[in-house]
Amino acid sequence: MPGDALSQDPAELRRRIDSSKAHPARVYDVFLGGKDHYPADLAAAAAGLAANPRGYLDVRHNRDFLRRAVTALAREDGIRQFLDIGTGLPTAENVHQIAQRIEPESRVVYVDNDPVVLAHARALLTSGPEGRTDYIDADLKSPARILEQAAATLDFDRPVALCLVAILHFVEDEEAYPIVRELMDALPAGSRLVLSHLTEDLNPENIRAVQRTYTERGFTFVLRSRKDVERFFTEAGIEPAEPGVVPVHHWRPDHAAPVPEQPEESYLADLDDIEKVRYRDINDVTDADINVYGGLGAKG
């Protein structure tokens, strides 16, 4: 059962956490203004920001793409089940909050393999009484295990939205494409694939500099072209819906990205650049800032 992950012994959880090495979920947390990370994660994020000073826009607009995609699925397409793999640490407007605000009966299963995410997973399980939210402690590279455990919460006879948002660039080709096919093959007709991915198509100099900072820290970091990102859809028999696979800030923009509250200038002046990111307004984005493709499609 998915919930069994939450009964894991706290001492075992602490043993699994390697705070000396940066982890993608925790680096992502830094850029989203979270607090559940370690100095190694902060250093990795700061190095990435130094390589691309407006790189926080990739992370924040990727997250805003997820907000718009889940909203469209719940409000326009009537999707009531979501499988979000590579969840990351809980932050404002998680998938279940968006979906259950629109349809309280929505069911959401989160999947991640970072023990720090597991330690905070109960914050993800605040479902309303009509719906259900669960968490699976598993790696994307174990799709059969994910599907088996998700079936305890999701009804695989009804459409499911599979969310693979900013995770596949951490997986090499020989594993990435078969994983997506296996997951989508298990889902019924009418299911959706929501996917975003880093690319060097758009602003190669910036993103290659970021790539170097992360590969030096041991991350797998695969930048894929639009054609390569579209392949995730086509190999699963899915045609991306309008507007197709596009830079995330151009995917059905609603100009409603949340604007953080602004502290006093004197407070900001004392912060490092990476600490200022949480207060940045992302609505001033330009095409020269974004290195992420996003798309959504339905399984026929």
User: For residues 161 and 70, is the Cβ–Cβ distance under 8 A?
Assistant: yes
Tokens standing for residue 215:
């590969």
Tell me, what's the pLDDT at 178?
97
- Please tell me the pTM assigned to this model: 0.92
Question: Tokens representing 231?
Answer: 């392949």
Q: How many Cβ atoms sit within 10 Å of the Cβ of residue 273? A: 11
**φ, ψ for residue 181 (rounded to 5)?**
-60, -45
* pLDDT, tens digit, 9 for 90 and up, residues 231-276: 999 999 999 999 999 999 999 999 888 888 889 989 999 999 999 9
Q: In the structure, what pLDDT confidence band is assigned to residue 10 with cuts at 50, 70 and 90?
A: low
Cβ(52)–Cβ(209) below 8 Å? yes
Confidence of residue 5 (pLDDT cuts 50, 70, 90): low
Omega of the bond leading into 24 within 30 degrees of 0 (cis): no
